[in-house]
Amino acid sequence: MNAGVRSPTLHDVAREAGVSLATASRSLNGSARKVNDAYRERVQAAAARLGYTPNLSAQAVAKGSTMTVALVVGDISDPYFSSIAAGVIGAAEESGFIVTMAVTARDSERELALVRALRGQRPRVLILAGSRTSDEPSQQALVAELTAFESTGGRVVVISQHELPFDTVLLDNYGGARRLAAELVGLGYRRFAVISGVPSLLTSRDRVLGFLDGLAEHDLTVPADRIVHTEFTRDGGFAGAVELLEHGIDDVELVFAVNDVMAVGAMSALREAGRIPGESIAVAGFDDIPTVRDITPALTTVQIPLIDVGRHAVELALAPRTAGGTEIPVETTVVIRESTPARK
Amino acid sequence: MNAGVRSPTLHDVAREAGVSLATASRSLNGSARKVNDAYRERVQAAAARLGYTPNLSAQAVAKGSTMTVALVVGDISDPYFSSIAAGVIGAAEESGFIVTMAVTARDSERELALVRALRGQRPRVLILAGSRTSDEPSQQALVAELTAFESTGGRVVVISQHELPFDTVLLDNYGGARRLAAELVGLGYRRFAVISGVPSLLTSRDRVLGFLDGLAEHDLTVPADRIVHTEFTRDGGFAGAVELLEHGIDDVELVFAVNDVMAVGAMSALREAGRIPGESIAVAGFDDIPTVRDITPALTTVQIPLIDVGRHAVELALAPRTAGGTEIPVETTVVIRESTPARK
DNA sequence: CTGTTAGCGCTTTCAA
DNA sequence: TTGAAAGCGCTAACAG
């Protein structure tokens, strides 16, 4: 009931079983069958009797390596990240890895500090799921830190864009947005507004670029005052829509928000202003987080197989190291739903 | 670029700075200022030059304790858990703790195995966020495992109900559901259906009980065939609604799903069957996960401050141990939204 | 205040 | 095969 009893150690088990430390170690963890069955059983029985659990930290220092995957996300309560995390955790556990998690709160200073701290865990793998930003001076420090980590045997996997010189799970943000634009034009839409994240956010930038290029193919453009920059969150989406409404968007037919949570926030703002999503105005998002098929109207979006993205990240990390850094491209597919009905 | 270089050790730093191992240790980590400033600076400079990061595993074995919090959740991609996780991670990081995470997939066998494995990390704190089940034989083994963990100095915190003899963050599932029922009756509802989880799930059971008791106060009941048992997920909610529809629920005025993701799934099923949530049928949920204020109609639910729940769990774990196990009760508050308009 | 020296729990040579 | 013993990187007495 009260503390004070220490956890049984391998030493205890060995004594209980009447064998040496080495034999105990080999019976419980050592790979190949190099231990007499009789001994092995004695040891296992003793371990069970004592409730022995190997001290992972001790194993880590003795072996010089851990079985942990460190995952860095922007915000775990965001469905985008939590879905990726689910994939990472699932795949990691299947391979016997433990996953530790840290949250950057979308702050790149903080991300750098976290990576530095996480290095202390000597994880075998470090996965960065937060989206990259451009022009940050801290990016350079981050690369240095990650490179140092790799040079000591760690594996780095970045999810999203291939800005950093590491293995990456590449999301086709640009292409997905471009195809989305094409499909929307095909549905009859001509006048658009865009709710974007801050320009330095690469994911956001790529999606906006792809969308605009997709429109440009059909000789359509979006006036600069119809592209607002805001936070990459639900509230950002809401605020972005409010800003657009203030600019006056009576003739806008469709609002593209660069991710689903923003789109959902935007829908609420539009609705509050009397514009009915899916009826008097269309809305599209990006990601296909689980809930958007259940909202009304169901949201048109670009699907990313988020769980798979997480799984791929660990597969990549556990695969043999390659020369220039491998990349696994992940397809994005346009999903048209009721929020963008065909016009006319 | 290639592996092979080992991480710099404290030893390297000490040599580089021309001081002893102990001095290096004290300069970098040791608590009180017991080191000459000149030395301290030399050491810190050397550490920076070498890119030294203390090996947490080594520290753990030397100190005999770690700075990690292990969090066990049912499914991290479920907003209920991911919000709690956000709170846990936030609070843990503020106290300098690392959090490791494991997922039970709502399987109590698996939960037991995970707890056993997690013990190997020798975390200071083990937080169980998955909801408890009754009558499972594995519960007993779980208690044994957790008790053993506590007896070796660890802290256990359970989130949800006080079934287990450990510190707990107590969610008022019963009371919240009861108050919800009262409010709904106040709004004019009289005929209900309930989509519940499996009966052994304590959270589900408490919510159903509270709801029924709340109705009973007004001499209302729910016929047994209007209470369906299904999975505690979005798809479960969908399936539950389908089942209700098959039973025929033309006269049902309101469907109470025992959690929000189920309610959201149920809404989709109802809508597909031609019943419009918020118009031809009302729906209520429980949890108040972030998205439900943005769905249409916005969902009436019982709010749990999920982030705070996570924070409380670590506060509890980091507070001095008490005799019988402390519990922090968390209030739940009814939030009436458009999915349950006043009748007539 | 600094350095020396045992450990911490475990793995892994190296002999036996 | 098994056991003794030397580490792994770090902390914490214990002397100086």
Contact across the interface for B61 and A58, Cβ inside 8 Å: yes
Give contacts of A79 with chain B, Cβ < 8 Å: 77, 79, 82
Q: Which nucleotides of C are covered by protein (CB under 7 A)?
A: 1-13
pLDDT in tens, B129-187: 987 887 678 888 999 999 999 999 999 999 997 888 899 999 999 999 999 999 999 99
On whether both B185 and B298 belong to a single domain, the answer is yes
Give contacts of B321 with chain A, Cβ < 8 Å: 3
On whether both A204 and A300 belong to a single domain, the answer is yes
Q: Which of B107, B88, B101 is nearest to B157 (CA)?
A: B88
Q: Is the CB of A48 under 7 A from strand C?
A: no
Q: How far is the CA of B99 from the C1' of D14 (A)?
A: 36
Regions of chain B short of the pLDDT cut 50: 1-2
On whether both B190 and B241 belong to a single domain, the answer is yes
pLDDT of the residue at B2: 47
On whether both B165 and B313 belong to a single domain, the answer is yes
On whether both A246 and A149 belong to a single domain, the answer is no
Smallest CA–C1' distance to C13, residue: A22
Strand C, CB < 7 A, residues 35-94 of B: 35-36, 38-39, 58, 61-62, 64
Domain assignment of residue A76, given as a range: 66-171+307-330
Which of A158-162, A271-275, B102-106, B184-188 is the least confident region?
A158-162
Q: Is the confidence at residue A2, as pLDDT, over 50?
A: no
In a domain, A61, yes or no: no
Q: Which of A186, A204, A214, A191 is nearest to A281 (CA)?
A: A191
User: Alpha helix locations (H) across chain B?
Assistant: 10-17, 21-28, 37-50, 56-63, 79-94, 108-119, 137-151, 173-186, 202-216, 234-247, 260-272, 306-318
pLDDT of the residue at B116: 93
On whether both A144 and A244 belong to a single domain, the answer is no
**Residue B156: which CATH number?**
3.40.50.2300
On whether both B42 and B70 belong to a single domain, the answer is no
End-to-end CA distance of chain A: 72
pLDDT of the residue at A1: 43
pLDDT of the residue at A225: 94
pLDDT of the residue at A298: 97
In a domain, B1, yes or no: no
In a domain, A340, yes or no: no
CA distance B180 to chain A (A): 23
In a domain, B269, yes or no: yes
pLDDT of the residue at B1: 42
pLDDT of the residue at B37: 87
Q: Is the confidence at residue A172, as pLDDT, over 70?
A: yes
In a domain, A5, yes or no: no
In a domain, B2, yes or no: no
On whether both A167 and A312 belong to a single domain, the answer is yes
The b/e string for A50-84 (b: 16+ C-beta within 10 A; e otherwise) is bbbbbbbbbbbbeeeebbbbbbbbbbbbbbbbbbb
On whether both A160 and A182 belong to a single domain, the answer is no
On whether both B103 and B197 belong to a single domain, the answer is no
Q: Give B215's contacts (C-beta < 8 A, 6+ positions apart).
A: B181, B185, B192, B221, B222
pLDDT of the residue at A32: 67
In a domain, A338, yes or no: no
Q: Could you tell me what percentage of chain A is helix, strand and coil, using 3-state DSSP and rounding each to the nearest 5?
A: 45, 15, 40
**Residue B37: which CATH number?**
1.10.260.40
Q: Which of B5, B76, B143, B271 to mutate to test the interface with A (most CBs of A within 10 A)?
A: B76
Q: Which two structure tokens, joined as six digits, stand for B8? A: 């710099």
In a domain, B5, yes or no: no
On whether both B147 and B196 belong to a single domain, the answer is no
Q: How many domains does chain A have?
A: 3
Give the CA-trace dihedral at B15, B17, B22, B26, to 10 degrees: -150
What own/partner pairs with CB < 8 Å and gap ≥ 24 does A273-281 have? Answer: A273/A241, A273/A242, A273/A245, A275/A245, A277/A339, A278/A338, A278/A339, A278/A340, A278/A341, A281/A252, A281/A253, A281/A254, A281/A255
On whether both A270 and A192 belong to a single domain, the answer is yes
Q: Decide if A91 contacts A314 (C-beta within 8 A).
A: yes
pLDDT in tens, A63-98: 999 999 999 999 999 999 999 999 999 999 999 999
Contact across the interface for A153 and B55, Cβ inside 8 Å: no
Please state, rounded to an integer, the average pLDDT across all residues of chain A: 94
For residue B297, cis peptide bond before it (omega within 30 degrees of 0): yes
